[in-house]
Structure 1
Amino acid sequence: MLFTRDLRVHDNPALHAAVADGDHVVPVFVWDEAILAGPMAVPNRLRFLSESLEDLRRTLRSLGGDLIVRRGEVAAVAGEIAARTGARSLFIADDHSDHARRRLAALRELPLRVTATPGLTVVPPGDLTPSSGGALYRVFTPYWRAWSAVPRDPLLPPPERITLPPGLEADTPPDPPTSGHSPALLPGGEDEGRRRLAAWVSGGLADYDDERNELARDGTSRLSAHLRFGTLSPREVLHATSACEPFTRQLAWRDFHYQLAAAFPDLSWRDYRPGRVDFRDDPDALEAWCGAETGVPIIDAAQRQLHHEGFMHNRARMITASFLTRVLRVDWRHGYRHFRDWLADGDIPNNAANWQRLAGTGNDPRPRTLSPLRQAARFDPDGSYVHRWLPELEALEGLAAHRPWKAEPSLRRTLRYPAPLIDPDEPVRRRSR
């Protein structure tokens, strides 16, 4: 059983199939170079991943098994362990990135029966296709209708027991370095994910539709990193939250982006709809945006939240992405990489698809520019979100906190806050909401 992005025992199709297939199961995780040295190897995700592996190992040991952790090339490690133990089958969760496809192709070169099971999404990419023809849905609304109509299979229970083959040593190499992570990064692991899901269902889900866009409220689930690493099953999350359609739509959006990325593997670097936007080269504006020094408080507050927590409120993600690409006219790929380098939940399908949608190069045929000031007036009217992350503006009350350049000159000089890079109102007046 090769764990990848399904670091759990509850509702894990690959683990369930492996336990049903043989008397002995060898649970394995491989630190390969794509994890340790590639662009996705960033401190926040390495920390979350390490904690999730520790938690998974404790759980597997409580079931009588263990987690064999190795470093190296995945197929080579799997082949070596199979040869040593006499294994004839290998189970892995199916994935659809270029790296995952290459990994699965290499595994299928081994003298093993390789089974790739679904499990990373509620509905696997490719299972839903438009009745009018085509390999994928390009618009969300018809996809949502089809997705909602798919019958839901029962959740799979965790195994009662896992038995390792005799003589196998479960030595674990040192974990990769995880320094440099955000100081308020939420912990990883299936136990933590299930605790957070239960707390969300009992204490936050009922108010989700009313509070999800309020920037100062913790009105979202904070389950995204657990879904990204598979410490929670997306099917279990759907099962637990099915009474709240606005929330389950977010799970459908996630699946929609996965089917988009599966059909368009260049999504993280090539425009999905090319030729629609002319970007400009402005390294100073990009540096200010990344460093929370744009002079537009709602943008800078969002970046400080990202740096401190390894997380950014979804509404704030939309506002900051729109500001970079539609107002400053900086290429979305720069923003995508910045988010990739900080988000604990950063994965290619959701990160890239959302950036392209906000930039005007993605699946949305009618992109709109989000005015940061209008968004602030709607979703942070008393300035609480800005005050939390920009305490230097605490002297400004309410909406005044979003327009420090309008303060009295004597007060403005004491704020120690930069002037705005650009008038936030003027560039977006015609096409904003």
Structure 2
Amino acid sequence: MTTTIALFTRDLRVHDNPVLTGAVGAGGFVVPLFVWDSAVTAAGFGAEPRARFLAGCLADLDERLRARGGALVERHGDLVTEVCRLAEQVDATEVHVASDVSAFATNRARRLADALAAQRRQLVCHDGVHTVVAPGAITPHGRDHFAVFTPYHHKWAAAPRRAVLPPPRRLQMPPDLDASIQRDDKAGGETPSRRKARSWLSDGLDAYHERHDDLAGDATSRLSPYLHFGCVSAVELAAEAADRRTEGGDAFVRQLAWRDFHHQVLAARPDAAHSDYRPRGDRWRQDEQALQAWQHGQTGIPIVDAGMRQLLAEGWMHNRARMITGSFLTKTLYLDWRAGAAHFLRHLIDGDLANNNLNWQWVAGTGTDTRPNRVLNPLRQAERFDPSGDYTRRWVPELAGLDDPRRPWRLGAEALRRLGYPAPIVDLDAARDRFREARQLALEL
């Protein structure tokens, strides 16, 4: 019998997985494989709590594969080396894997294809595993990608979608293959992600358009970590949300379109992960003390510190808080967006280059934002999206004893200091003027 390897990367599910379906469809034995790539770990992507969440995802995937007669094989080291070694061991004819958009992922896939070809084996790449619409599937006339979201969204909404794939009923693995896996808790994985998705679609989706910016209400889906690791399918989520035909469903699907938008930008411009997509000539300030205050939630601006402390505590942050803290770093402190993006990637469970770094560029005004000089005033943002101060008090314990209506954003610096809270590290009005003058000067040079 022939043998095929299904190489899992960040598509850790059995439902609607073209990689697994393709491997099973090739006939014969199937070897499900995940490699703890040493290059990924060395780059910092294996830091806690992401590694802990990933371990749970793999344990859950193994359990689901075993229920179908298979098991997950794990290897550690250089991915290309380990895949080729296993392919030789089981005499695999094909290796199936999901296409991805980062420069690292595409270069790794190229190296793997070459190495397998040298063994007379084939790498089969599957598009559209991570997104609703595959990067590059829709393009504007005469260009390789969309640079503005609205026209992209119009075409995205009309684009044909692949059918949602059922999970395979049975897998057959080669005999005598060691597929042991270290069990972990189920913090991550397809089982909790599908349970969470069902609950969200039933109870949270319809009001999403009204509540998604409510910081204290925490009314977002919280599915982003599961989407990042592919425990839940974006295609399946989009189909089920669209079937509701509600304003909340439309708003949620639009967020999935934003996710796809960033993937297609990065696929076409891999350097945008670290270089300005639209350079503004910024000469970012160097202020390590201010950067550390921001990183540790000690800026003296309550809503900013609440978001940063949530990140450190949970490995997650509400999207509105991400915008507020990002604007504060890049436009109030006028510090390089790359420092913020790196900090988020170190701590966010859902952090990936496409969504993290291109959203950072958007908020810094060096990406696809059509209003690159907008500055989000954190006090006004708090008044709009945390009007009772509940979110702020939840994450800034120095202010926990404040009673409504004495909202934290209404208190002056002296009153906050008396509560044991740090003084603001910057004057907001002066900082706004500094940013606008610096950006204008940079554009004139």
Q: Match of 2:187?
A: 187
Q: Which moved further from structure 2: 108-117 or 309-318?
A: 108-117
Any residues of structure 2 matched to 1:29-428 within 5 Å, and which? 29-109=34-114, 110=116, 111-118=120-127, 119-131=129-141, 133-172=142-181, 187-242=187-242, 243=245, 244-367=249-372, 368-393=374-399, 394-395=401-402, 397-398=404-405, 400-405=407-412, 412=416, 414-428=418-432
Q: Measure how far apart 1:100 and its partner are.
A: 1.3
In structure 2, how many angstroms separate the alpha carbons of the residues matched to 1:250 and 1:186?
26
Distance of 2:135 and 2:55 partners within structure 1: 28
Helix, strand or coil at the partner of 1:30: strand
Q: Aligned equivalents of 1:170 and 1:400: distance in 2?
A: 55
Give ranges in structure 1 of 5+ residues lacking alignment. 179-184
Report the more deviating stretch, 296-305 or 40-49. 40-49
CA distance in 2, matches of 1:152, 1:13: 13
More moved, 31-40 vs 251-260: 31-40
User: Does structure 2 retain, via aligned residues, the 8 Å contact 1:277–1:360?
Assistant: no
Cα deviations by residue, 1:315-337 (Å, 9 ceiling, x for unpaired): 00000000111111011111111
Q: How many angstroms does 1:412 deviate by? A: 4.5
CA displacement, residues 88-128 of structure 1 (integer Å, 9 cap, x when unaligned): 11111111212211221122121212110020111111111
Q: Which has the larger helix fraction? A: 2
Deviates more, 1:258-267 or 1:54-63: 258-267
> What secondary structure, in the 3-state scheme, does the structure 1 residue paired with 2:45 have?
coil
- Give the Cα separation in 2 of the matches to 1:86 and 1:280: 56
Q: For residues 246 and 84 of structure 1, do their structure 2 counterparts lie closer, same or farther at Cα, with a shift above 3 Å needed?
A: same
2-structure distance, mates of 1:280, 1:3? 41
Q: Distance in 1 between matches of 2:95 and 2:227?
A: 23
Q: TM-score, normalised by structure 2?
A: 0.90
Partner of 2:443: none
Residue in structure 1 matching 2:9, options 4, 11, 24: 4
Q: Which residue identity lines up with residue 146 of structure 2 in the other structure?
A: Y
**Preserved CA contact (<8 Å) 2:39 2:78:** no
TM-score when normalising by structure 1: 0.93
Amino acid at match of 2:58: L
Q: Distance in 1 between matches of 2:62 and 2:180?
A: 12
- Give yes or no for contact 1:377–1:399 (8 Å, CA) kept in 2: no
For residue 90 of structure 1, give the secondary structure of its aligned residue in structure 2.
strand
Report if aligned partners of 1:276, 1:360 keep a CA contact under 8 Å in 2: no
- Whether contact under 8 Å (2:294, 2:305) holds in the other structure is yes
For 1:413 and 1:218, how far apart are their aligned partners in 2?
A: 28
Contact 1:296–1:403, Cα closer than 8 Å, also in 2:
no
> Deviation string for 1:218-276 (max 9, x for gaps)?
21000001111001111011112113111111100001001111111122321111134
Whether the 8 Å CA contact 2:12–2:58 is kept in 1: the answer is yes
Segments of 5+ residues of structure 2 without an aligned counterpart are 1-5, 437-445
Equivalent residue letter for 1:386: T
Aligned to 2:26: 21
The residue type paired with residue 157 of structure 1 is P
Does the residue aligned with 1:247 lie in a helix, a strand or coil?
Answer: helix
Tell me: CA distance 1:412–1:126, structure 2 relative to 1, closer, same or farther (3 Å).
closer
Distance apart, 1:425 and its partner CA = 4.2
In structure 2, give the amino acid aligned to 1:170.
Answer: A
How far did 1:405 drift?
A: 2.4
Deviation at 1:352, TM superposition (A): 0.5
**Structure 2 SS opposite 1:38:** helix
SS, match of residue 412 in structure 2: helix
**Large movers: runs of 4+ above 6 Å:** none
Partner of 2:440: none
User: Take 1:399 and 1:226, find their aligned partners in 2: how far apart are those partners?
Assistant: 37
Q: How many residues align?
A: 418
* SS of residue matched to 1:271: coil
Contact 1:186 1:309 in 2 (8 A): no
Aligned mates of 2:233, 2:61 — CA distance in 1: 14
Q: What is the one-letter code of the residue matched to 2:422?
A: P
Q: 1:182 aligns to what?
A: none
SS in structure 2 at match of 1:157: coil
Structure 2 distance, partners of 1:60, 1:234, is: 21
Is the Cα–Cα contact under 8 Å of residues 201 and 241 in structure 1 kept in the other structure? yes
Determine helix, strand or coil for the equivalent of 1:49: helix
